Copies of this chain bind each other. A is one copy, B any other.
Amino acid sequence: MLENTGRTELSSLGEFGLIKHLTQFIEIKNESTKKGIGDDAAVIDYKGKQMVVSTDMLVEGVHFDLAYVPLKHLGFKAVSVNVSDIYAMNAVPKQITVSFAVSNRFSVEAMEELYAGMMKACHKYKVDIVGGDTTTSKSGLVISITVIGEADADDLVYRNGAKEGDLLCVTGDLGAAFVGLQLLEREKQIFMESPGVQPDLGGNDYILERQLKPEARKDIPPLLKMLKVKPTAMIDVSDGLASEILHICTQSEVGCSLYEDKIPIDPAAYNMAREFNLDPTVCALSGGEDYELLFTIDQSDFPKIKANPDISVIGHMTSKREGINLITKGGSSHPITAQGWDSLLK
């Protein structure tokens, strides 16, 4: 037994020991999971449904800063950002594999925290951890997750189906995760300069939670099904609204008019953005990490969604020739360019 207090070195368990230790409480939830962790591969049976697969890698110092990200939240977020891609296909996530590279800087307890966050997310999204790999890193922590989901072929929604005249919709609100990151960065700077000063994070729960513990929109695919709306195109907002609109427009070969005054921004995020001298609209367009769903629907479906407080119509699709434009609050039109997260330019 590992003690609950103190630090247990990773080397005391070894690779196989660590895997066994971390995976001991995994319980299979899905009938399709025929064999989980413990063999060369997992076995999954989808019986005629179509399978969807997506993968994401999170790198310490690039995607997260352990100075202010609790490991448990990081584990939760790592799973959330992955299942979000499956919901964006209008599908249901079922299994994940989890690989991480970790240095001896981390204790067994630290990995337990990370894993606990992942397990919490798996419970929330009802997915099974069916495999993974654990290895040494020379420095930072790297997490790679692959998620597998299922859907009937007819239900799948791609990025390339938007048509001229379709309405552009988004769930929830945008920009808060980016504002939350600014807040965490500011408090980190203050703390590094004056370690005695306690971080001033009070009253910003929503913004911080959007950054530290985002939740994927598990509720949206069943909601759309209930409303009898099948989007013509869909994508999740991971790199920022601008980047995602460009993806849909490029793949669907259409243009878009996005209305600034329709972009849903939480009041707390709006005010905090102003405090940082940031334009809240720019935070929504280029901030990213919102993990909301952006989708297009046929105009005839508008009555079905208009009463839903969680879905905003923010624009409409135009001909490709008309371009991809932001119509500002002042009524002028500006081309939207990719300002999204571009890790390699950093």
* A interface residues with partner B (beta carbon < 8 Å): 10-11, 13-16, 18, 34-35, 38-48, 50-63, 85-86, 88-89, 91, 95, 97, 99-101, 104, 130-140, 142, 144, 146-149, 153, 156, 158-160, 234-236, 251, 338, 341-346
Query: Which of the residues B10, B39, B46, B140 comes within 8 Å of A51, measured between beta carbons?
Result: B46
Whole-angstrom CA separation of A235 from B39 in the bound complex: 8
A57 and B91 form a contact (CB under 8 A): no
Going nearest first, the 4 A-B pairs with the smallest beta carbon separation are: A144-B144, A41-B54, A146-B146, A40-B88
Whole-angstrom CA separation of A13 from B153 in the bound complex: 35
B91 and A41 form a contact (CB under 8 A): yes
A263–chain B nearest beta-carbon distance, Å: 21
Whole-angstrom CA separation of A43 from B44 in the bound complex: 15
Query: Which of the residues B10, B58, B85 comes within 8 Å of A344, measured between beta carbons?
Result: B10
In the complex, chain B residues whose CB is within 8 Å of the CB of A53: 41-44, 95, 97, 130-131, 146, 148
A97–chain B nearest beta-carbon distance, Å: 4
Whole-angstrom CA separation of A51 from B60 in the bound complex: 32
The closest CB in chain B to the CB of A158 belongs to B39
A86 and B131 form a contact (CB under 8 A): no
The closest CB in chain B to the CB of A62 belongs to B136
Whole-angstrom CA separation of A29 from B146 in the bound complex: 21
Whole-angstrom CA separation of A148 from B158 in the bound complex: 21
In the complex, chain B residues whose CB is within 8 Å of the CB of A135: 57-59, 62-63, 343
In the complex, chain B residues whose CB is within 8 Å of the CB of A158: 35, 39
Whole-angstrom CA separation of A134 from B58 in the bound complex: 10
Query: Which of the residues B56, B95, B140, B156 comes within 8 Å of A99, measured between beta carbons?
Result: B56
Whole-angstrom CA separation of A52 from B9 in the bound complex: 33
The closest CB in chain B to the CB of A60 belongs to B138
A331–chain B nearest beta-carbon distance, Å: 31
A39-B89, A50-B45, A140-B138 given as contacts; is B55 within 8 A of A131 (CB)? yes
Whole-angstrom CA separation of A135 from B81 in the bound complex: 15
In the complex, chain B residues whose CB is within 8 Å of the CB of A56: 99, 133
The closest CB in chain B to the CB of A36 belongs to B53
A50–chain B nearest beta-carbon distance, Å: 5
The closest CB in chain B to the CB of A98 belongs to B55
B55 and A146 form a contact (CB under 8 A): yes
B159 and A38 form a contact (CB under 8 A): yes
Apart from the given pairs A39-B89, A133-B144, 13 other A-B contacts in the complex at a CB distance below 8 Å: A13-B344, A35-B158, A38-B251, A40-B85, A40-B235, A42-B54, A45-B50, A51-B148, A55-B131, A55-B133, A57-B142, A60-B138, A139-B140
In the complex, chain B residues whose CB is within 8 Å of the CB of A86: 40-41
